């Protein structure tokens, strides 16, 4: 008789997350598609998100959907469908403005309007937030105070990497508890593996599409089985839509946005076969960061900025 599984053999629940936005909302197209013309663009977000919902059903995966408030206002039924199919609804802000380009006042209005719109459409509470392009950085940490005051209990906007537009390289690599003047919240960072002094992203977005799939598989395996950590994976509905209209941008932006769109769905299916995924809220619960009643439990070493 085989003995009970050791800690190392036990499957780790990773978090699956989707930033629900249309292809023209992406930061790289800021200035190319002005916000005043968003309503005139061909929208593909509902169809692409429905497709992701069907794939997740097929693999029995529950995901967190960080929904853009602008999308929730126009497609409330989509938000309701996401919630009714058993997923977690959360906020991606309202107008997809980078946090560090906003004032605390405009940021507050943005995250308040998004939370209200998503809750009204979905019929349940929103507690999680992810900033457009991970734009909570050393110069926009004030945003954490605003999120706490506006009733969010976790944030997933800090990537502990060096990048041209975002990142706090010294930030912890796994969920941690942040104490601020306004109160406390959990921070759920993007997933990385460590090479010497450098953290490299391994779980989602352009890194998933542009680099060969074995990079993602190796990275998540390393996190799960060597470090005993969960991965937080992220993708966007437009990433499984190779037929989306092509917009003009600089070569780097075009490369990051359009590379390997036709491969993403089959890669996603492989990923869902290789690893276990649940919602971000479920991950925090499994990892002991949240009590069954939803209260936040401080980690052993509260991390204070």
CB of 223 to Zn ion, least distance (A): 23
Q: Which is nearer to Zn ion, 153 or 238 (CB)?
A: 238
Q: What's the min distance (Å) between Cβ of 21 and Zn ion?
A: 5
How far apart are CB 79 and Zn ion at their closest, in Å? 16
Q: What are the residues binding Zn ion (CB under 5 A)? A: 19, 21, 132
Measured from the CB atom, the residue of 132 and 175 that comes closer to Zn ion is 132
Which residue, 197, 209, 207, is CA-closest to 264? 209
What tokens appear for 150 in the block? 């506006």
User: Residue 119 CB, nearest distance to Zn ion (Å)?
Assistant: 19
The residue assigned the tokens 């769905």 is 265
**For residue 178, what are the β-bridge partners?**
185, 303
For the chain, the farthest-separated pair of C-alpha atoms sits apart, in whole angstroms, at 66
Choose between 21 and 187: whose C-beta lies nearer to Zn ion.
Answer: 21
CB-CB neighbours of 226 under 10 Å: 10
Q: Mind spelling out the 3-state secondary structure of 202-237? A: CCEHHHHHHCCHHHHHHHHHHHHHHCCCCCEEEECH
Residue ranges of E strands in 202-279: 232-235, 276-278
CA distance linking residue 189 with residue 168, whole number of Å: 10
CB within 8 Å of 60: residues ≥ 6 apart: none
- Closer residue to Zn ion, CB minimum distance, 107 or 177: 107
Nearer to Zn ion, 236 or 267 (CB): 236
What is the nearest approach in angstroms of Zn ion to the Cβ of residue 238? Answer: 10
Q: How far is the CB of 30 from Zn ion (least distance, A)?
A: 11
Q: Which is nearer to Zn ion, 96 or 289 (CB)?
A: 96
- Other CB atoms closer than 10 Å to residue 43's CB: what's the count? 16
């Amino acid at each position: 008789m085989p003995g009970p599984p050791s800690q190392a053999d036990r499957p780790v629940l990773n978090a699956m997350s989707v930033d629900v936005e249309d292809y023209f909302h992406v930061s790289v197209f800021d200035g190319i598609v002005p916000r005043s013309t968003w309503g005139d663009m061909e929208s593909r977000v509902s169809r692409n998100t429905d497709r992701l919902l069907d794939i997740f059903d097929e693999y029995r995966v529950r995901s967190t959907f960080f929904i853009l408030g602008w999308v929730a206002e126009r497609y409330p039924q989509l938000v309701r469908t996401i919630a009714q199919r058993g997923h977690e609804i959360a906020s991606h802000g309202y107008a997809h403005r980078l946090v560090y380009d906003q004032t605390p006042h405009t940021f507050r209005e943005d995250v308040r309007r998004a939370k209200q719109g998503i809750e009204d459409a979905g019929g349940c509470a929103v507690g999680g937030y992810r900033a457009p392009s991970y734009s909570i950085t050393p110069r926009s940490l004030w945003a954490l105070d605003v999120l706490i005051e506006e009733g969010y209990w976790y944030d997933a906007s800090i990537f502990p990497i060096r990048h041209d537009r975002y990142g706090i390289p010294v930030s912890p690599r796994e969920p941690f508890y942040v104490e601020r003047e306004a109160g406390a919240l959990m921070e759920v960072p993007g997933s990385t593996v460590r090479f010497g002094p450098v953290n490299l992203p391994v779980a989602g977005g352009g890194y998933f599409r542009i680099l060969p799939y074995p990079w993602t598989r190796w990275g998540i395996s390393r996190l799960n089985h060597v470090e005993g950590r969960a991965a937080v994976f992220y993708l966007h509905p437009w990433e499984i839509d190779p037929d989306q209209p092509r917009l003009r941008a600089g070569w780097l932006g075009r490369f990051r946005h359009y590379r390997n769109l036709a491969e993403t769905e089959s890669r996603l299916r492989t990923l869902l076969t290789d690893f276990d995924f649940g919602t971000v809220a479920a991950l925090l619960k499994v990892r002991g960061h949240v009590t069954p009643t939803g209260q936040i439990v401080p980690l052993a070493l509260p991390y204070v900025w």
